[in-house]
Amino acid sequence: MIYFSTNKSSIPVSLKKATLEGLAPDGGLYVPSEIPHFSPEEIKNLDGASFNNIAFAIAKKFVGDDIPLDQLSDMIDTCYNFDTPIVPLDDNTFVEELFCGPTLAFKDYGARFLARLTGIFAAKEKRLITVLVATSGDTGSAVAYGFQGIPNTRVVLLYPSGKVSPLQEQQLTTAGNNVHALEVQGNFDDCQRMVKEAFVDPSLNKSLTLTSANSINISRLIPQSFYYGWASLQLKERYDHNSPIFSVPSGNYGNLTAGVLAKRMGFPIGHFIAASNANDSVTRYLTDGRYDPHTTITTLSTAMDVGNPSNFGRLRYLYHNDHASMGRDITGISVSDKETRTTIRSVYDRFGYLMEPHTAVAFRALEDYRSKKEAAEGAGIVLSTAHPVKFLEAIEETLGKKIEIPSNLQELMEKKKSATLISSEYKELASFLNGLDQ
């Protein structure tokens, strides 16, 4: 499998090179030369398959000859030693709980796969890889734990000061070992901009081998398609539902892009809802075809506070910059903080189910979509991207009740934070990175 840059100015590369570079030299995002396809017979053969078997079937089509298949199979079994439950709320509404991994967030699916793949490739190259990550919360903690102790790698996390939850910050700043946390005086877009500047800084790239573990890295994105394939087949097998609608909490749009990959591969997926908060740049594009990103707005669903999402470039590439074509697969719906809180309360009252803000945004967007008569039919799957305990303050304030914290997380909250405070000026990031080997 060969990978191209969305900017079309860099030479095609292998998965190994795309993984270790993260961002293409021309500043574009890597995409596969072709999206591998499952025939109807191949899909049928996956009936009754485990999550790991479905993950392996998908991964081997993207990996090709870059690593032996037995090593890939072992890697997947190591990555996904936790469940991916699909919880019915009613006959047509389901929640896919993607928070059962070690950091209680969906980012574990991509980060653990990428960490192990990077470790394998770094060992082959006999290089020390510096993994540079901008995070609005859960990416950083998943990467920190995913890469913790992986040989030939070190991780530098940039997160916006005061704009992640206390639990997320503890996960980001207490991993230690080969993980360094930078607390940036700015917003997520500042963190993302600084990371992009580092990748195209020629002087920095002479001394360091940089890669990214954000969803701009194609090897973070590919494994996120696994749970779309799994859910679509589970709904068919267990509940006799075909071609479900996926409602996806959308911030940097990597999660949604992975869903589009799964649909293009041939998995039985009907439609997507790009559920956003007040940061609705893509929602507005899907409505009128104009992309006009605004400054980031702080909301209750903090991990989705992205004004100019990187993966939107991949989405536009996959749809050949055709607004109408994208709109046939994806409906954008924006949800306010007030609506988010109302949804957390109503879902708890109706189903006894506890939702954190990001999941609530996706649930409300699905309800809004269904309120349109022509869209009322069909099963819906809400992606639940984080465990409610990661957003305790928001949930407790909304419901007016205390939520019990698991003992292992209580121990985490008592650990000492270790982070370096920097401004949003790129020169401070460059200085930190240049000082890592001193």
Rg, C-alpha atoms of the chain: 20
Q: Which of 107, 196, 236, 390 is catalytic?
A: 107
Return the structure tokens found at 74.
Answer: 């072992």
Hey, is 330 helix, strand or coil? strand
How buried is residue 151: exposed, middle or buried, by Cβ count under 10 Å (0-12/13-18/19+)? exposed
Assess contact for 273 and 233: CB atoms under 8 A.
Answer: no
**29 secondary structure, DSSP code:** B
DSSP letters for 255-309: HHHHHHHHHHHT----EEEEEE-S--HHHHHHHHS----------SSGGG--SS-
**Of 71, 56, 73, 62, which Cα lies nearest the Cα of 1?**
62
CA–CA gap between residue 336 and residue 300 (Å, rounded)? 9
Helix (H) or strand (E) holding 337: helix 337-351
Helix (H) or strand (E) holding 227: helix 226-239
CA–CA gap between residue 209 and residue 21 (Å, rounded)? 8
Output phi, psi for 349, to 5 deg: -70, -40
Hey, is 186 helix, strand or coil? coil
Assess contact for 267 and 235: CB atoms under 8 A.
Answer: no
How buried is residue 193: exposed, middle or buried, by Cβ count under 10 Å (0-12/13-18/19+)? middle
* Residue 402 annotated in active site: no
Q: Which amino acid is at 90?
A: D
**Of 168, 267, 365, 377, which Cα lies nearest the Cα of 258?**
267
Assess contact for 215 and 224: CB atoms under 8 A.
Answer: yes
Strands 3-5 and 30-32: antiparallel
Output phi, psi for 93, to 5 deg: -125, 125
CA–CA gap between residue 259 and residue 117 (Å, rounded)? 21
Active site residues: 107
